[in-house]
C-alpha cells in the first residue's frame, strides 16, 4: 500500500494544478469575451470632429546690445560689426531671410557708453553727422538685402530666444566722420523691415554671426 500511495500522490497533485490552470484560463477567456465579443456594434455619427486653433502673429523686435563686443570696429573709410538681439514673442519659430535698410543718408547717433544712454553731441545723426550707415544701404529707403544664412529665432520661452547676432562688417563710417566719433558707440539707424516667415524650423544657436548681400 505504501508503494501505491507513493505512485498516486504525484498524480493527485498534478491533477489539482491542472484544474487550477484550466480554471484560470477559463476566467481570462470569459473576461475577454465579455469585453470584446458582443453583438452590439457601435458606429460613428456623421460629421464627428474636434476643434483646433491657430496661433496669433506678433512682430519681432531687434535691439542693440553690447555683448558680445564687436570684433571689428569702425574708422573713417572702414567697416565694423553690429551686434543685435532678436526677440520672438510668437509661439512658433520665425525664419528671417532678409533685412530692409534705411537710406544711406540716415546716420547712426554716437554715445559715450555701451548702454547708449549719454549722447555725444559732436557725433550725431544730424548736425554733426557721424557718417555711420549700414553697409549696402542705397539712396532709397527700404532696400532689401538677403542674409547669407537665414536666421531662425526660437518660439517664445525656448532656448535661443532672444537670439544674439553679430552682423560682421555691416556698418560703415564715411571719411568725413568728425574726430568726436572716435572711441564711442553707435546706435544704428532702424531697419525699415524684414523678410520673415513663421513655422516649424530648427532654431539658430545664440550667439550667431551673419552678413547680407
Query: For residue range 126-173, what is the model confidence (pLDDT) as tens digits?
Result: 999 999 999 999 999 999 999 999 999 999 999 999 999 999 999 999
pLDDT at 199 > cutoff 50? yes
- Mean residue pLDDT of the chain comes to 89
Cβ–Cβ under 8 Å, residues 204 and 160: yes
Cβ–Cβ under 8 Å, residues 169 and 70: no
End-to-end Cα spacing for the chain: 106
Q: How far apart are CA 33 and CA 70, in angstroms?
A: 74
Phi, psi of 195 (to 5 degrees): -105, 115
pLDDT at 96 > cutoff 80? yes
Predicted confidence at residue 97, as pLDDT, reads: 98
Over residues 2-30, the mean pLDDT reads 50
Higher pLDDT pick, 20 / 119 = 119
Give the start-end residues of each E strand in the chain.
61-64, 79-87, 94-101, 109-111, 132-134, 143-153, 163-173, 185-187, 193-198, 208-210
User: CA neighbours within 13 Å on the CB side: how many for 106?
Assistant: 19
Q: Band the pLDDT of 106: cuts 50, 70, 90.
A: very high
Predicted confidence at residue 19, as pLDDT, reads: 55
Q: How far apart are CA 53 and CA 17, in angstroms?
A: 59
Cell numbers of 192, please? 525699415
* Residue 11: strand, helix, or coil: helix
Amino acid at each position: 500500500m505504501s508503494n501505491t500511495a507513493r505512485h498516486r500522490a504525484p498524480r493527485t497533485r498534478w491533477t489539482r494544478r491542472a484544474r487550477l490552470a484550466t480554471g484560470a484560463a477559463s476566467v481570462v477567456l470569459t473576461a475577454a469575451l465579455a469585453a470584446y465579443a458582443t453583438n452590439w456594434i457601435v458606429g460613428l455619427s456623421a460629421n464627428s470632429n474636434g476643434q483646433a486653433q491657430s496661433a496669433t502673429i506678433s512682430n519681432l523686435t531687434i535691439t542693440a546690445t553690447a555683448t558680445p563686443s564687436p570684433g571689428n570696429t569702425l574708422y573713417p573709410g572702414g567697416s565694423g560689426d553690429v551686434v543685435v538681439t532678436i526677440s520672438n514673442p510668437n509661439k512658433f519659430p520665425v525664419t528671417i531671410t532678409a533685412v530692409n535698410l534705411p537710406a544711406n543718408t540716415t546716420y547712426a547717433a554716437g554715445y559715450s557708453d555701451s548702454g547708449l544712454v549719454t549722447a555725444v553731441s559732436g557725433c550725431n545723426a544730424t548736425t554733426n553727422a557721424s557718417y555711420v550707415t549700414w553697409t549696402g544701404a542705397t539712396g532709397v529707403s527700404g532696400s532689401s538685402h538677403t542674409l547669407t544664412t537665414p536666421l531662425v529665432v526660437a518660439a517664445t520661452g525656448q532656448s535661443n530666444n532672444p537670439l544674439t547676432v553679430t552682423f560682421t562688417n555691416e556698418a560703415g563710417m564715411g571719411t568725413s566722420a568728425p574726430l568726436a566719433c572716435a572711441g564711442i558707440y553707435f546706435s544704428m539707424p532702424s531697419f525699415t523691415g524684414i523678410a520673415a516667415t513663421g513655422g516649424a524650423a530648427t532654431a539658430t544657436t545664440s550667439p550667431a554671426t551673419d552678413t547680407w548681400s
